[in-house]
Chains A and B, each alone.
Chain A
């Protein structure tokens, strides 16, 4: 508990900047309380602060890992995930910001919350202490509840917010109960000290299954894993589309990151016992997500279920990590964790892009149903082709980012002798391809041409972000070495912490 002082605060400067940005927006909003603001200024300020934060994180690449105030690790793993989070939030802000500005009341509030939620995610991936972990996850959750229900006059949005709140706070309370048991078993809140405490007195091992299962409920909820996924389709469907875009990518990445850190650092010694449970969750998640996605008629809801299914694939990476009998995981080329990290990065661009196309179509036609996409290629060729790329990437077709991610998590499962898991994953990927390609068929070859009236003009902001997402998806698919190197160093650093 030695390092009390401001000396190491530089490490959390990006987060501090983001929080100050949020406060600044609130102050700006106070200053013009009487006027109805268009929100463009707030959008610009938010993007500016996010870019400054991203720059701060970029500067931390390659630094020696260190810990701020005994609670916040500045290490390659956290830095990698912060890149994912900040990039995602910038894309969502630019692409979806004007939609929110048009539909939301209280724009200052919205943008302040948007920055706060970024800071919360950023803290969550760095936290090495159960207290900070809980606080940042709750901070993330509470702001997300508000954002999901932000369009108060929209019944669906309000319902999504309330459902998210009820599921989320139950999951958080269950997770907290698990954390209190971990604290009781070891007398410490620090993840590293918990691992040492568990190793030191073996009679505490009895409490581990209960504590871990309860903690897993809360983290699995954030990552929308199978038994705790029910909120996800409803919230993703009902929330404003830009909010869905970040909930299904950045927020999910936080769930997986925290899960990886807790399992590897604090519970690494028990990993062999967890592998079957995680494998079961993974299979359940991808199967449930894919099977229900098959019979969706709304593209937004289909993407919501597909996002649940993708969580199942991502969990395969973590399963591979914990299943390994090998003592030193850092020497493996596919240790599972690097697959998880790669997947999250590729999935970020793909899914945000896909949801922005949904947003553009929703803006134009007022609908998210599949009918609204019929012959999209004639009305908006750019959007249709972009959606085509995103769907290919989600299905895991080679030369897209989604393929690289899938390749590494499936590869890791095979390398760790989890052949049946990889097999089930492949069957699932085939099922998923069916409903993804169904959308493609509607966009390109719909038989009834009656919907093809006039061209659809998507806003320039959405078009440019979608273009960026397409380029990034293809870039990751064609030339992953640089990203792979980052993911490798991040995963090795975390795995080296395993006791």
Chain B
């Protein structure tokens, strides 16, 4: 059982060794001639002018939250689509459509609500 994973272990060891050699050998053998340009975070790039971890306006969170909610709800469509044909053939088309119709109706009321309440306005 465990012997099956031996190749994986060998790959891991080789990868670690390679990374170690690639780091250590140039550091020992290579020339070290530092100057101002070389020490910049991005050589010949744009000079950073502020910390990247700035505060975002809170409206980003609002839109992100709403996006996540509607994004995730779609996962319920996926299993439903899987059994749709089966339900139609063995039961009735209404049994296949009505529950998802109700689910989407609830979602649409929610969407309309946030829209009309101005949660989607980017002021």
On whether the two chains bind one another, the answer is yes
Interface residues of A (CB under 8 A from B): 4-6, 19, 23, 26-27, 29-30, 33
How near does chain A come to B68, taking the closest CB pair, in angstroms?
A: 14
Q: Are A29 and B113 in contact (CB-based, < 8 A)?
A: yes
Q: Are B95 and A26 in contact (CB-based, < 8 A)?
A: no
In the bound complex, residues from chain A placing their C-beta under 8 Å from that of B95 are: 4-6
Q: Are A23 and B106 in contact (CB-based, < 8 A)?
A: yes
Q: Are B109 and A27 in contact (CB-based, < 8 A)?
A: yes
In the bound complex, residues from chain A placing their C-beta under 8 Å from that of B56 are: none
Main secondary structure of the interface of B (DSSP, over half): helix
A6–B87 CA distance with the chains assembled, in angstroms:
13
In the bound complex, residues from chain B placing their C-beta under 8 Å from that of A29 are: 113
Q: Are A5 and B91 in contact (CB-based, < 8 A)?
A: yes
Leading 8 A-B pairs by shortest Cβ distance: A30-B116, A33-B116, A26-B113, A23-B109, A26-B109, A30-B112, A30-B113, A4-B91
How near does chain A come to B59, taking the closest CB pair, in angstroms?
A: 16
How near does chain A come to B108, taking the closest CB pair, in angstroms?
A: 10
A370–B41 CA distance with the chains assembled, in angstroms:
64
How near does chain B come to A308, taking the closest CB pair, in angstroms?
A: 33
In the bound complex, residues from chain A placing their C-beta under 8 Å from that of B113 are: 26, 29-30
How near does chain A come to B91, taking the closest CB pair, in angstroms?
A: 6
Given A6-B98, A23-B109, 7 other A-B residues pairs in contact with their CB atoms under 8 A: A4-B91, A23-B105, A23-B106, A26-B113, A29-B113, A30-B112, A33-B117
A260–B95 CA distance with the chains assembled, in angstroms:
34
In the bound complex, residues from chain A placing their C-beta under 8 Å from that of B105 are: 23
**Which residue on chain B has the smallest CB distance to residue A24?**
B109
Flag B54-87 by CB within 8 Å of A: 1 or 0 each: 0000000000000000000000000000000001
How near does chain A come to B67, taking the closest CB pair, in angstroms?
A: 18
A19–B109 CA distance with the chains assembled, in angstroms:
12
In the bound complex, residues from chain B placing their C-beta under 8 Å from that of A30 are: 112-113, 116-117
A179–B116 CA distance with the chains assembled, in angstroms:
40
Interface pairs (17), CB distance under 8 Å:
A4-B87, A4-B91, A4-B95, A5-B91, A6-B95, A23-B105, A23-B106, A26-B109, A26-B110, A27-B109, A27-B112, A29-B113, A30-B112, A30-B113, A30-B116, A33-B116, A33-B117
A19–B116 CA distance with the chains assembled, in angstroms:
21
How near does chain A come to B27, taking the closest CB pair, in angstroms?
A: 46
Flag B23-46 by CB within 8 Å of A: 1 or 0 each: 000000000000000000000000
Flag B86-121 by CB within 8 Å of A: 1 or 0 each: 010001000100100000011001101100110000
A23–B112 CA distance with the chains assembled, in angstroms:
11
In the bound complex, residues from chain B placing their C-beta under 8 Å from that of A4 are: 87, 91, 95
A27–B115 CA distance with the chains assembled, in angstroms:
12
In the bound complex, residues from chain A placing their C-beta under 8 Å from that of B116 are: 30, 33
A26–B98 CA distance with the chains assembled, in angstroms:
21
In the bound complex, residues from chain B placing their C-beta under 8 Å from that of A33 are: 116-117
In the bound complex, residues from chain B placing their C-beta under 8 Å from that of A19 are: 106
How near does chain B come to A4, taking the closest CB pair, in angstroms?
A: 6
**Which residue on chain A has the smallest CB distance to residue B110?**
A26
A149–B105 CA distance with the chains assembled, in angstroms:
27
In the bound complex, residues from chain A placing their C-beta under 8 Å from that of B109 are: 23, 26-27
